[in-house]
Structure 1
Amino acid sequence: MSSAGSTQLRAGRKEWAALGLLVLPALLLFMMLTILFLAIPYLAADLRPSSTQTLWILDIYGFLMASLLVLMGTVADRFGHRNVLVTGAVLFGVVSAVAAYTDSPAMMIVWRALLGVAAAMQMPTTLGLIFTTFQDPKQRGVAIGTWAAAISAGVALGPLLSGLLLEAFSWRATFFVAVPVMAVVVIGAPLLLPGRQGPSAGKLDLFSALLMVLTLLPLIYGVKSFATTDSPMLSALAVVVGVLFGVWFVIRQLRSSEPLLDVRLFKNRTVSGALGVFILSAMGLGGVYLMFTQYLQLVKGLAPLKTGFAILPAALVLIVVAMRSPVIARRVRPGYVIATGLAVQVVGYILFTQIDSTTGLPWVIAGFIVLYPAVSPSMALTTDLVVGSVPPEKAGAAGGLASTVNDLGISLGVAIIGSIGTAVYRNGVDDKLPEGLPDAAADAARENLDGAVAAARGIPGSVGDQLLRVARDAFTTGLNTAAATAAVIAAAGAVAAAVSLRHVPPTGSAVPAGPSGEASPAESVSAAEAD
């Protein structure tokens, strides 16, 4: 390729400014997955949700976002990525402002669900606009790495921002923070981002999108309700319904000439391997992360701001590791980089199985520094690995799959591992509540640790102290069990990464040139898979 052609491909100041704009929603939308982790005790004190409602408030956002990402990517292909990004940003900002004034647990679930829809409108457009804006392969790699690091940073910094806001304001401020960010996106998009690139031939398969939602929600409801209901048959029925809808969804995609989600991509072992490994990594972290923030506040008694700063060292290390992982993967096979991160996660989870309600704070924070950054290799490498392993005409579908798994893994962890922790907590307090405890206080304590702490404040003397001790011990046992479960999941992920991705060469390896004269990741992986 000529020098002039190369110069024409390379991005200038406007394109890098556009990347800064695109990073904002990616950072914020994943921050919203974790920003309520510290705020939930305060939200629960005001709204008084049940334990089931609390879990839905936390993760309905993530589930709807994950369920609709692929559909919204198709919508963006048809109506323009910039148009859908701006529409989603407006909806997100307006609903965030409304949610901040909500006083009903049921309505909070509704608003969080709508935020998930608005988030799904934005995530695939940010990645699609990066592919449109950055034509030079090397610059595009840097841009995708920055985008992935922003997602990691959003997950990491959500609790810290929440702590700062809770210290100065109330839990309602965790919703208001989205309004100015979305305003910047709405104003900046027409100035910096390319307009509509022309309609896509992709069909808007709304029925398939509905089937995807009907697959995920009954499955998650069934998992949740095993820990919070006395009707295991109802829980099992919900799981069966979700599985049946899932089978219907897969059959429909296989029969469609223009599927909403090209499930045939899973025949590519790099795609299936990378996504499977990442969902295992994110699942373990999602549930333990939520319980850890509650442990710091409700067991160790830290104020929100101190809790945020307790998490900060691990968050900073995570961002550094996320930025360095692609560099390491230029020399070491990405599968081995991801497997190493997961193995370190296992060590961190094992450390968490040893803590109790009296463990010193430095030991707890040190364990989290081991555990938390170890998820970032899979976070940083998955998207580029998946998108680079398929032909260019399937890059959009592969990118949608990567974004879906990013989101779904954390949400599944909150639901599944959070439900395990809830079940262990309830078993731990049920037979150990002190004598003479009022029925209302006993019911609140059995519901969750938030209820036990609130009830103990209203009971003076040794009875209140004993209730608090029993509840904290039970919650810590639940955290131990959740960490042990996550350790098994992470260990399985480490083995899967080392085995299923061992064929992928280091990204800096010499590979056949693509049409532009640059190295083609898809060709590299295809050649490796043929060996």
Structure 2
Amino acid sequence: MSDNEIESLPSRVPEDEIQPQSLIVEEEKQENQTIQKVESKASLDYADAEQRPPIFRSNIHEVLCCLFLTFAPCASSMASGAYQTSLTAISDHFNVTGGKLTWCVSGVTLANGSCLLIMGSIADAFGRKRALLIGYSGFAIFSLIAGFMNDFILLCVFRAIQGAMVACGTPAAAGFLGASYKNSKRKNLVMSCFGIGAPVGAASGYFIAGICIEALNWRAVQYFFAIWYCMMFFGVLFCLPNDRKIDWKNAREIFRGIDYCGAFLSLSGFTLICFSLTQVDATTSRWRTPYIIALLVVGVALVIGFGIYETYVPKNPLMPMIMFKNRNFVVCISIVSLSWMLFTGILNYNAVLYFEQIRKYSVIITACCFLPQPLIGVLVNIFAGFTMHIIPGKYLITIGCGGFVVASIIWATNSIDRNYFLGPFWGFCLVVIGVDLIYNVSNRCALSSVERKLQSRAAGTFNTVCQLSSSVGLGISTTILAAKDPYYGQANQQDHPVDLFNATKYTYYLGIAISGFSAILSLFLNLGVVGSVKRQNSVTRK
């Protein structure tokens, strides 16, 4: 009985309405049992780890929910990939070249990565379903607005808001799945399907943009995202199980305890780093420009300060620092960071330049060249889902790092007129094998390093590293191109394809070094199989 109900009782109760003490005790016992059943169902405390969680009404309901959740991490990477394909069209429309042009790509990933941590707390306050609805609707609305922009700076601003909005849904989606399933083969398959979102979303973005630009123009890409995520909004609204009612008192406590200072440090630090790296080619003195060096130093200092601050100062840090006490997680997240710098910032970005500005392919042909990535990515994620309980995670990550090494070598030794199926095709296939295997195993490592109530924050931390690494990778790539190609960022850049091709070689050399270092780090992992019910029961008995 609630306090309000107790206060509403009359001061004197008639004797004939007084219940025996034994009856009162029995009613309280039944009430407690009912509450325990509800809480048990809410926490998904079911016996067989391989069965369908009881929150799903049927297998079809489970598949639909997982599908709608997968498009949360897909949004940012898909938008980033689509705008990489759109670079030439946007450059011609706004008359912007060089590092400045990459802001329409990195803006969404930078804002997404910087806001993911704080959005995990919002998901805890309002509920995961509500956070997804906010993220999907906001992404759709600001995609539509960005499609009407006639100023490049405003386009980048609204692109950044898109990234911030969808950041509200990514930790909520991962937290929902992480808390809904026990470690099992079923959870491996579900999380692998969820893992398709980020890497395959990026690859699919190239193809989507190619079709939209070829059929209409670059604005059609934004309109497509607006329509698609409006559909995803209604899918989540009607399909995903409802959250508990908002506890406004608890929500106020959560907002009062959010680490706003940590959010400011991370956002400002990575923004300054990316700005200084991408702005180099726009200055006459390049790296001799004083404010470029100053902003880079301040940005690095802020990022280091963010790490120190999160470790010692806040009572409720944005990042669950307990994760970093796990050696496997530290190694995994380092490999993920290096891999995403290489995947988005170096290999895929320079591949777009190679096809569009060096080989002079049309947008639709460029999109077709990227088509192996989503196709191979789906197969790799299915393979990971069915084998993570058999093959130790250490071996899967090592294989993934090997894929990055070979892909980097293929691109570094590629000639300007090599046949697509003798070079780039195999580079695309191998890089997707690498990114998908690493994403699946590392994501599970991140979620398993914290307790269930911190699943959203763990997912936010993991995806933050992915998005921010992509932005930094783009900045490093454009810096190398600006240093090695005297025409990069100039109005006549496309008139000198050979110089641009020779400059991209140096980015691939860096890619070989990064992937090689990642492969060495993978040897220090001690990750076993994931989701083995037999092994889990054995550990429990011990």
TM-score (norm 2): 0.82
Q: Give the partner amino acid of 1:221.
A: F
Q: Give the direction of change, closer, same or farther, for the CA distance of 1:259–1:19 in structure 2 (3 Å limit).
A: same
Q: How far has the Cα of 1:59 moved from its partner?
A: 0.2
- The change in CA–CA distance for 1:280 and 1:139 in structure 2 (over 3 A counts) is same
Query: How far did residue 220 of structure 1 move?
Result: 1.8
Q: Could you report, residue by residue, the CA deviation over 1:388-442 in whole angstroms, capped at 9, with x for unpaired residues?
A: 233334433222111112222222222212321232122xx4xxxxxxxxxxxxx
With 120-129 and 71-80 compared, the bigger mean Cα shift is at: 120-129
Secondary structure at the counterpart of residue 238 of structure 1: helix
Report if aligned partners of 1:25, 1:181 keep a CA contact under 8 Å in 2: no
Please, which moves more after superposition, 486-495 or 117-126? 117-126
Q: Residue 173 of structure 1 aligns with which residue? A: 220
- Is the 2:263–2:318 contact (alpha carbons within 8 Å) kept by the matching residues of 1? yes
Q: Does residue 262 in structure 1 map to residue 320 in structure 2?
A: yes
Provide the rounded CA distance (Å) in 2 between the counterparts of 1:125 and 1:305. 35
- Please say if 1:478 is aligned against 2:503: yes
Match of 2:515 in 1: 490
Give how far 1:162 is off: 1.1
Equivalent in the alignment of 1:82: 129
User: In structure 2, which of residues 472, 476, 494 is the aligned counterpart of residue 416 of structure 1?
Assistant: 476
Which residue of structure 2 aligns with residue 339 of structure 1?
398
Q: In structure 2, do the counterparts of structure 1 residues 263 and 221 end up closer, same or farther at CA, with 3 Å as the change threshold?
A: farther
Match of 1:381 in 2: 441
The equivalent residue for 2:489 is 447
Partner of 2:17: none
Q: 1:135 offset after TM fit, Å?
A: 6.0
Aligned residues of 1:82 and 1:195 also touching (Cα < 8 A): yes
Q: Post-superposition shift, 1:168?
A: 0.8
Paired residues of 1:59 and 1:414 also in contact (CA < 8 A): yes
Change (3 A) 1:370 1:147: closer
Q: How does 1:283-322 map to 2 (within 5 A)?
A: 283-286=341-344, 287-322=346-381
- Give the match for residue 296 of structure 2: 239
| Contact 1:63–1:216 under 8 Å retained in 2 | yes
> Which residues of 2 match residues 341-380 of structure 1 at below 5 A?
341-373=400-432, 374-380=434-440
Q: Give 3-state SS (helix, strand or coil) of 2:317's partner.
A: coil
Specify the alignment match of 2:270 in structure 1. 216
Residue 296 (structure 1) shift: 0.7
The 1:15/1:232 distance shift into structure 2, 3 A limit, reads same
Letter in 1 for 2:327: R
Partner of 1:456: none
Q: For 1:141-173, what per-residue CA distance to the aligned partner results, in whole angstroms no more than 9, with x for missing partners?
A: 322211101222201111111111111111111
Question: Is the 8 Å Cα contact of residues 76 and 109 (structure 2) preserved in structure 1?
Answer: no
Q: CA separation in 2, counterparts of 1:34 and 1:7? A: 34
The count of corresponding residues between Structure 1 and Structure 2 is: 482
Amino acid at match of 1:354: T
What residue is the counterpart of 2:5 in the other structure? none
Counterpart contact for 1:93–1:182, Cα < 8 Å: yes
Distance between the aligned counterparts of 1:16 and 1:3, measured in 2?
A: 19
Q: 1:240, 1:35 → 2: CA distance?
A: 31
Contact 1:62–1:411 (8 Å) recurs in 2: yes
Partner of 2:528: 505
Q: Displacement, 1:370?
A: 4.7
Distance 1:472 1:390, change over 3 A: same
Farther off after superposition, 234-243 or 136-145:
136-145
2:185·2:531 contact (CA, 8 Å) conserved in 1? no
Provide the C-alpha distance between the structure 1 equivalents of 2:508 and 2:297, rounded to a whole number of angstroms. 27
Q: What CA distance in whole angstroms lies between the structure 1 residues aligned with 2:281 and 2:450?
A: 40
1:7 and 1:352 map into 2 onto residues whose CA distance is 44
User: In percent, how many aligned pairs have the same letter?
Assistant: 18
Question: 1:5 Cα shift?
Answer: 12
Max radius of gyration: which structure? 2
> Could you give the per-residue CA deviations for residues 314-359 of structure 1, whole angstroms, max 9, x where no partner exists?
4322321232134343333212221222123212211212223333
Amino acid at match of 1:402: F
Paired AA for residue 302 in structure 2: F
Q: Provide the secondary structure at the position in 2 that maps to 1:194.
A: coil
- Maintained 8 Å contact 1:318/1:372: no
Supply the AA of the counterpart residue of 2:438.
S
Distance (Å, rounded) in 2 between the aligned partners of 1:256 and 1:181:
39
**What is residue 21 of structure 2 aligned with on the other side?**
none
Change (3 A) 1:321 1:189: closer
Pairwise CA distance, 1:2: 5.6
Call closer, same or farther: CA 1:246–1:413 in 2, change over 3 Å: closer
- Aligned AA for 2:351? F
- Answer whether contact 1:297 1:307 (CA < 8 A) is retained: yes
Name the SS for the 1:85 alignment partner: helix
Q: 1:255 and 1:474 mapped to 2: Cα distance?
A: 49
The alignment partner of 1:170 has SS state of: coil
CA distance in 1 between counterparts of 2:272 and 2:95 reads 24
* Structure 1 alignment gaps of length 5 or more: 430-445, 454-467
Q: Which moved more, 1:61-70 or 1:371-380?
A: 371-380
Q: Is residue 2:164 matched to residue 1:110?
A: no
- Residue number in structure 1 paired with 2:25: none
- Partner deviation per Cα, 1:207-235 (whole Å, 9 max, x = no partner): 22112101111122223334543244322
Q: 1:206 aligns with which of 260, 263, 266?
A: 260
Which letter does structure 2 place at the counterpart of 1:210?
F
Return closer, same or farther for 1:385/1:121 CA change in 2, 3 Å cut-off: same
Work out whether residues 31 and 156 of structure 1, in 8 Å CA contact, stay in contact via their aligned partners in 2. Answer: yes
Q: Which has the higher contact order (CA 8 A, sep 6+)?
A: 2
1:325 aligns with 384
Q: 2:340 aligned to 256, 269, 282, which one?
A: 282
Q: Distance in 2 between matches of 1:172 and 1:347?
A: 36
2:37 is matched with which residue?
Answer: none
Secondary structure, in 3 states, of the residue corresponding to 2:263? helix
Inter-partner Cα distance in structure 2 for 1:489 and 1:451: 31
Deviations 1:237-285 (A, max 9, x none): 1122123322432333222221122334212112111111111111112
Match of 1:225 among 266, 279, 291: 279
Unaligned runs of 5+ in 2: 1-45
Deviating more after overlay: 381-390 vs 210-219: 381-390
Give the 3 Å change call, closer, same or farther, for CA 244–393 of structure 1 in structure 2: same
For residues 6 and 363 of structure 1, the distance between their equivalents in structure 2, rounded to whole angstroms, comes to: 45
Is 146-155 or 484-493 further displaced after alignment? 146-155
Contact between 1:356 and 1:477, CA under 8 Å: does it hold in 2? no
Judge conservation of contact 2:99–2:489 (CA < 8 Å) in 1.
no
Q: Deviations over 1:182-219 (max 9, x none)?
A: 21222222322233335566422222211210111112
